[in-house]
Amino acid sequence: MIKLLFIPLSLLLLAGCATMQEKPQVKKQAKRVQTSTNKSVAPKEHKMFQSVVKKEATLLQKGKAKEHCAVCGMNLVMFYKTNHAATDENGNIRQYCSLHCLTDDLRQGTELKNPEVVDVKSLKFIPVLEAYYVVGSKKSATMSRVSKYAFKSLEDAKAFQKKYGGKIVDFYSAWQSAKKDFE
């Protein structure tokens, strides 16, 4: 009697497997997009708000490590919308993934001048003293628990704040928030 149970069960499994093998495997593909040169390509997707495509990023550092944060080594393109940059005492531009890492470099004794930050809207570097920072929004932070995104115009900062929350502050207030990471 036990043999009778095994035969039908094995036949059922084999029939099920055979049926499953007959179904075509369908891979989900991203919708293709036409480019200006009429090529059809899959779109680049960014899962992180901070990320941009490489051609949209301005990399200011020189050398082999130009795509990596001067302090932590994180990829600058991946965290581009929180990038900061400044010139060190030797005249070299140092680029950071975040205000956190710029602050850390200062804490370690690096002398910096002419600090800049990426304007989230235009993706261009602007002087930090001209920026409106939105601190503590719902968007993910870089190297910190508290996000800090910068904007050239107050209107852009207010629009971002309305959508994602946070507080609009100047550079010095955002920097004070970054310093708390090290307490």
Q: Give pLDDT < 70 ranges for the chain.
A: 1-46
Per-residue model confidence as pLDDT tens digits over 125-172: 999 999 999 999 999 999 999 999 999 999 999 999 999 999 999 999
Structure token pair of residue 64: 């082999």
Under a CB-based contact definition with an 8 Å cutoff, are residues 108 and 78 in contact?
Answer: no
Per-residue pLDDT at 24: 41
Angle subtended at Cα 144 by Cα 183 and Cα 105, rounded to the nearest 5 degrees: 65
Per-residue pLDDT at 38: 57
Kindly report the number of other CB atoms within 10 A of residue 58's CB atom: 15
In the chain, what is the straight-line distance between the N-terminal and C-terminal CA atoms, in Å?
74
Per-residue pLDDT at 124: 98
Tell me the whole-structure pTM to 2 decimals. 0.75
Per-residue pLDDT at 36: 54
Per-residue pLDDT at 144: 96
CA 124 to chain centre: 15
What b/e string do you get for 162-181 counting C-beta neighbours within 10 Å, with b at 16 or more? eeeebebbebeebbebbeeb
Domain boundaries, the chain: 54-182
Per-residue pLDDT at 157: 98
Per-residue pLDDT at 13: 37
CA distance 171 to 173: 5
